Amino acid sequence: MTPSDGPEASVPPAFPEREPSPRFWAGRRVLVTGGGGFLGSHLVERLRALGADPFVPRRAEYDLTRQADVERLYAESTPGLVMHLAAEVGGIGANRESPGRFFYANAIMGTMMIEEARRAGVEKFVQVGTVCAYPKYTRVPFREEELWAGYPEETNAPYGIAKKALLVQLQAYRQQYGMNGIYVLPTNLYGPRDNFDPRTSHVIPALIRRMDEARRGGLAELPVWGTGNASREFLYVEDAARALVLAAEHYDGAEPVNVGIGNEIRIAELAGLIAQLVGYEGRIGFDPSQPDGQPRRSLDTRRARERFGFTARVGMREGLRRTVDWYLSSLSG
């Protein structure tokens, strides 16, 4: 389950890797919700580099849980294409503390964004889903066909189900209204500009921050939640942004599509690798009284290769090195 230093195996010749086309994107008006966030900021940079005209709503101006604000957003942005990334997200702790909020906010934002896109006659709607939507005990690697084979892992089920309901909405709207809405399922993301807030961060930024603080504080041991035996698949954020651009340009299907690197790493191994990169030399102690979350996560990424030519390029070690370097430089800046 240990990832290689590079990304997954090269693309089979039958499904060559694609590049986004500046001709397609030049001058295209794209509404990107969550465009000021972690993944969204990288996506917006890529869209601008391709010549697109992204509109990025700010939370202070548009509350996407209010219908009047969503209607005003579409009226003022007049998009031809919508990429809905806005979400209320967090790690295991945040999901345990705010399950109701995570369900409501994600469900209502997505529902109203899709409905208003239909009313506005938007050419295409791209919904970003979540790997948390998969059943707790899914056969590895996760195939898109397994999405409905069971209930999600309990700590993040409200969030995962809310996001999965948007897939149903898009498929229903396609059937009844002919709306072109696609659903992309990225695995866990990481990279520069990630959320390093200890209350809401996911595992990689949380470990980077805590290990750096432990190193500077001279701590002999650092406790980590869980047994360390759970595995996760991680995708570098710039790869994820490229995948969304490719999907928006080339994919028009009704079925969800996994986006990942195609291999997994145990949390214990991940913690050891981050310790090396940060320079923390103390002992890493695991706390089995705290939840592991889903036992394993690794995606079958063949559909993304076949349908829109996406293959991850940044391997785990290189991506972590870039992330650690960015975090340390942000502290000194």
Alpha carbon dihedral 315, 318, 322, 325, in 10-degree steps, equals 150
Q: The whole model's pTM is what?
A: 0.92
Cβ pair 159, 130 in contact under 8 A = yes
Options 1.10.1200.10, 3.40.50.1010, 3.40.50.720, 3.30.800.10; which CATH number does 22-194+234-265+297-315 get? 3.40.50.720
Question: Which of 62, 134, 159, 236 does the annotation list as catalytic?
Answer: 159
Distance CA 245, CA 300 (A): 20
pLDDT of residue 116: 98
Residue 241's H or E segment, with its range, is helix 237-250
CA distance 133 to 290: 21
pLDDT score for 216: 96
* 236 classed as catalytic: no
Compute CA 321 distance to the chain's CA centroid, rounded to the nearest angstrom: 19
Residues 241, 128: contact at Cβ < 8 Å?
no
Query: What is the reported pLDDT for 5?
Result: 53
- Looking at every residue in the chain, the average pLDDT score rounds to 94
pLDDT of residue 11: 44
Q: Domain boundaries in the chain?
A: 22-194+234-265+297-315
| C-beta of residue 18 within 8 angstroms of C-beta of residue 242 | no
CA distance 21 to 7: 23
Angle among Cα 30, 306, 33 to the nearest 5 degrees reads: 20
b (16+ CB within 10 A) / e for 48-73: eebebebbbbeeeebebbeeeebeeb
Rg (CA), the chain: 19
Chain-centroid distance, C-alpha 224: 23
Low-confidence ranges of the chain (pLDDT < 50): 2, 4, 6-12
